[in-house]
Amino acid sequence: MRLPIILMLLCQIVYAQYDKDNPHNSHCNWDNTRLNKNYVPTDADTCLYVVSTRHYHENASHFVDNEYDSTGSLHYFAVYYHGDQWTAVPKNNLEELLSCRAISPNMVVYTEGLGRTFTTDLDRGTRMSRIYGVQTLLFDWPTERPDIKPGQNFRITYTVSNLVSKSYASCVKQLAAFKAKHADRFSSISLFLHSMGNLLMMHGLQQHYFDSIAPGTFNNIILNAACVPEKDHKAWVERITFSQRVYLTRNKHDKNLNGAKIVLWQHQLGERPRKPFAANAIYVSFSKVLGLEHNYFLMRPLLKMKPYLKEFYKTLFHGEAPVFGKEHFKPESKDNPNIIKCLPKQGDFAIGLG
């Protein structure tokens, strides 16, 4: 009896991540995505930097697939969005990728979770750039295989995350080296990991892949709605020395994380973190202002209704530190200044968009 329930929950976890709200006129798919080595971008194009861990098929219309390149190779693309078309221009390395266009002073390295093909990842990355006015570097890893069942896809993604974590760390270390060489190119660089994307950070820290990165290299690291085990998180989170600040967001009502809790038989970090807390992290709870939402940082109706949520993320993505203690964001107590509760104003309510 338990197996059908688990499969039902897995389906919910996968498909609930597809936010129906869309700031574009159409969703990115293979019909409006192409590879063009000779494309000349226009000033009107939104430029998305992409580092992909998938197999690259240079001569195919679907030029990357839905599987992890087990050689550990990273594939680099400057992807230009204009007129509901995404045009990918391949690059040889990160240096070439980041030098192909004037970089916005604030960069976010964005890593998604379960249920992402290459094109849905591009769509989300484009939204991030446009909503928050930042330069997005999308770290793309395969978390959706449309030809297999959701339960199998979940298991494969969970397992392969351990391998992908080494590729993620390689990307982050390359970016750290680029920043050291071109310090004047950036005002800030922050790392943002959503949902199961946090597995890459967790595994990488546990295996010491980030140890060579200089302390304080990045401005903010945001572990958002983390779909990773809550238990013993203090040990690996406190290994984050390469960022000036670390933020961990949670929502105890999050339907995706509550589903994962039942399937995996353990509380998830973005749902219900418990003591002992990491001394270097600021824990921000949205439980009093959100319903079942999991993708709240990209949901335009929600961000419009609750502008303080957008302002919170915008502040982080621009490399700054939010000021807590005023209006919506209050420390739990003087004894726990790193435990922050986001509080509603009168008439505010959670709408449970999903």
- Whether pTM > 0.85 for this model: the answer is yes
pLDDT the model gives residue 155: 93
Tell me the pairing of strands 75-82 and 85-91. antiparallel
| Dihedral angle of Cα 5, 202, 234, 115, to the nearest 10 degrees | -30
- By CB atoms closer than 10 A (0-12, 13-18, 19+), residue 85 is middle
pLDDT the model gives residue 280: 97
pLDDT the model gives residue 26: 53
> Where along the chain do its domains lie?
2-342
What's the pLDDT tens digit per position in 189-202? 999 999 999 999 99
pLDDT the model gives residue 348: 62
Alpha carbon 336 to chain centroid distance?
27
Structural contact between residues 63 and 56, judged by C-beta atoms closer than 8 angstroms: yes
Question: Can you list the pairs that 156-160 forms with residues at least 24 positions away whose Cβ atoms lie under 8 Å?
Answer: 157/114, 157/196, 158/196, 158/199, 160/68
pLDDT the model gives residue 191: 98
pLDDT the model gives residue 22: 44
**Alpha carbons 103 and 255: distance in angstroms, whole number:** 37
pLDDT the model gives residue 89: 98
**Alpha carbons 331 and 338: distance in angstroms, whole number:** 7
Residues (pLDDT < 50) of the chain are: 1-5, 7-8, 14-25, 351-354
2-342 classified as CATH 3.40.50: yes
pLDDT the model gives residue 349: 55
pLDDT the model gives residue 94: 97
